[in-house]
Amino acid sequence: MKDLKERAIRGGLARVFAQVVFFVLRIGALIVLARLLDPKDFGLVGMVTAFTGVLNLFRDFGLSTATVQRVSVTDEQLSTLFWINVLAGVILGLSLSGAAPIISNFYHEPRLFWVTIVLAAGFLFNAAGVQHSALLQRQMRFTALAMIQIISLVVSTVLGIGIAAGGFGYWALVVMSVTLPLVSTIGFWLTTRWIPRMPRQQVGVFPLMRFGGAVTLNSLIVYFAYNLDKILLGRFWGAEALGIYGRSYQIINLPTENLNSAVGEVAFAALSRVQDDPGRLRSYFLKGYSLVLALTVPITLAVALFPHDLVAVILGAKWSDAAPILRLLAPTILIFALINPLGWLLFATVRIGRSLKIALVLAPLVTLGYALGLSHGPKGVAFAFSAVMILWAVPHIAWGVHGTVVSLRDIRTAVTRPLLSGVVAAVLAYGMQFYYGPSLSPLLRLTLGGTVLLAAYVGMLLYVMGQKAFYVDLIRGLRRRPAVESTTMIPA
């Protein structure tokens, strides 16, 4: 178990480093592409990706999660799951291609026909790498995963920027979306060196498929809840409104997606290995939860305090309408950090039914919020979404941890320290910007405010709130040399 802890720490820090690189690359790509493309270009592609995202949930069928969660899995089972994923990818790609005329007519936009056809190819590329990626995650080879994903993002970003610079408009975004899974899948195959066998019957995949089906249904409901806003804005307010809202949402989603992916992959793999040990299960979860919160609080505050400067630096002057939307959406960064990690705990302990019930309650609440805010455009939708998520956070947490090894008191303790540190840091950063900011450029104001915010937050968290020992333990875990990662096809 000590080796598992050290591998989890090293894997977690490797993933955090990779996600920092992802964040920088994506922000860099956004800075460049926002100046090469118009809001309508982003809006056009966003109209289709709202639908492709739904179908992407079925590409996986939750089988990668099932592969990681199981205590043991055979090569025959893994091979059968691979072919199920590939078959699903082919069916979904053909289905999306067939739906191209419908999507084009729904938005009254003929250009979406070929955009949809090209994006359909991504389903097969993604499906072919699902089990290989899950195998790396199961073996806790997170450094290899990180390198593959960084290389894939670099290749797709460079290609996309080149196409945009060549004057091909929204096709730059389309090519980026298809190239990323293609390069990633090639990397997964080369790294694992695992060749799937032909599928066989009676290899015990039905329990895995039941678990995966429940995960998929849960993801489908949550995806619908979090993406209906974009479908409605695109339909009733047009490509430009969706483009502005979509870029704001992308900036908001970057820390959520990156941190949850970085810490979540490692935490879920580790929690699944100790699911029968309540003490370690609680300890591992709270460490991962605390880390996500500590990293999320300053990001949330920076977006809430400096939205105009962020938009000016990242997107440019023509995107100024995105700033108020960014501020309205800022609270959701913290809310997602509070509620998303509960999925690690529920999935690892096979409480998927509870997660599904939570999703079934959340979806109509969010949908009602969209309906109330839609008449006021992107700002109304952003305000409604944030309001619903803020009101829902505490009931979600209480329901999620009920009857588990984690208590509400544990959650409160984990939340209090970073929040108090953040409040003090925010006051200092805002005061500094208020007195010195008006005479500075957006970049300098953002640099000044961000530096003060981060320095004050780190000082408060480590020394005033007594969290120094926690991070020293993380660093020591990184410096220890763990046992060599297993290269066996089927990890324990």
Amino acid at 294: A
Q: At residue 64, does pLDDT exceed 80? A: no
Per-residue pLDDT, 228: 86
Q: What are the pLDDT digits (tens) for 261-283?
A: 777 777 777 787 777 788 888 88
- Cα–Cα distance measured from residue 356 to residue 25, given in angstroms and rounded to the nearest whole number: 34
Whether the per-residue pLDDT at 108 is higher than 90: the answer is no
Question: Could you tell me the pLDDT band of residue 59, with boundaries at 50, 70 and 90?
Answer: low
Q: Residue 243 is which amino acid?
A: G
Contact assessment for residue 178 and residue 116, using Cβ atoms and an 8 Å cutoff = no
* 414 touches 286 (CB < 8 A): yes
Task: Give the pLDDT band (50/70/90) at residue 432.
Answer: confident
CB within 8 Å of 267: residues ≥ 6 apart: 8, 12, 284, 285, 288, 341, 344
Out of 205-209, 217-221, 304-308, least confident range: 205-209
CB 434 within 8 A of CB 448: no
Please state at what angle helix 75-107 crosses helix 112-127, rounded to 10 degrees. 170
Residues 198, 79 contacting (CB under 8 angstroms): yes
C-alpha span between 165 and 149 (Å, rounded): 24
User: How high is the pLDDT of residue 41?
Assistant: 86
Asked whether the beta carbons of 422 and 297 are under 8 A apart, the reply is yes
Range name among 66-70, 124-128, 414-418 with the lowest pLDDT average:
66-70
Predicted TM-score (pTM) of this structure = 0.72
- CA distance linking residue 352 with residue 360, whole number of Å: 12
User: Does pLDDT of 212 surpass 80?
Assistant: no
| C-alpha Rg value of the chain to the nearest Å | 22
- Looking at residue 147, the DSSP 8-state letter turns out to be H
Higher pLDDT, 473 or 311: 311
Residue at 65: amino acid letter? T
Query: How far is 126 from 123, CA to CA, in rounded Å?
Result: 5
pLDDT digit string, tens, across residues 119-130? 998 888 988 888
Please provide the distance, in angstroms rounded to a whole number, between the alpha carbons at the two ends of the chain. 13
- Lowest average pLDDT, out of 29-43, 76-90, 283-297, 464-478, goes to 464-478
- Find the mean pLDDT for residues 300-310: 93
> What is the average pLDDT across 364-375?
93
CA 194 to chain centre: 27
Q: How far apart are CA 124 and CA 251, in angstroms?
A: 28
Query: Tokens 């320095």 correspond to what residue?
Result: 455
Q: Where does the pLDDT of residue 193 fall: very low under 50, low under 70, confident under 90, or very high at 90 and above? A: confident
- Mean pLDDT value of segment 438-467: 89
Region 329-335 average pLDDT:
94
309-329 residue pLDDT tens: 998 888 887 788 889 999 999
Q: What is the mean pLDDT of residues 333-350?
A: 89
198, 265, 213: which is closest to 66 by C-alpha?
A: 213
Tell me the pLDDT of the chain averaged across its residues: 83
Mean pLDDT confidence for 286-306: 91
Could you tell me the residue ranges of all domains in the chain?
2-479
Q: Which of 47-61, 293-307, 370-384 is predicted least confidently?
A: 47-61
Closest to 272 (Cα-Cα) out of 45, 428, 67, 487: 67
For residue 144, pLDDT beyond 50:
yes
The two structure tokens encoding residue 88: 């699903």
- Tell me which residue has tokens 């593959």: 148
Contact 220, 54 (CB under 8 A): yes
Residue 437: is its pLDDT beyond 80?
Answer: no
pLDDT band at 218 (very low <50, low <70, confident <90, very high): confident
Structure token digits, residue 197: 């066998």
Q: Range with the lowest mean pLDDT among 4-18, 102-116, 312-326, 395-409? A: 4-18
What percentage of the chain has pLDDT greater than the value 90?
33
Q: Sorting pLDDT into bands at 50, 70 and 90, what band is 482? A: very low
Label residue 424 by pLDDT band (50, 70, 90).
Answer: very high
Number of H helices and E strands in the chain, helices first, is 19, 0
Residue 316 φ then ψ, to 5°: 105, 170
Residue type, 205: V
pLDDT > 80? residue 431 = yes
What is the C-alpha to C-alpha distance for residues 216 and 65, in angstroms, rounded to an integer? Answer: 10
Would you say 233 and 381 are in contact if contact means Cβ atoms under 8 Å apart?
A: yes
Quick check: helix, strand or coil at residue 329? helix
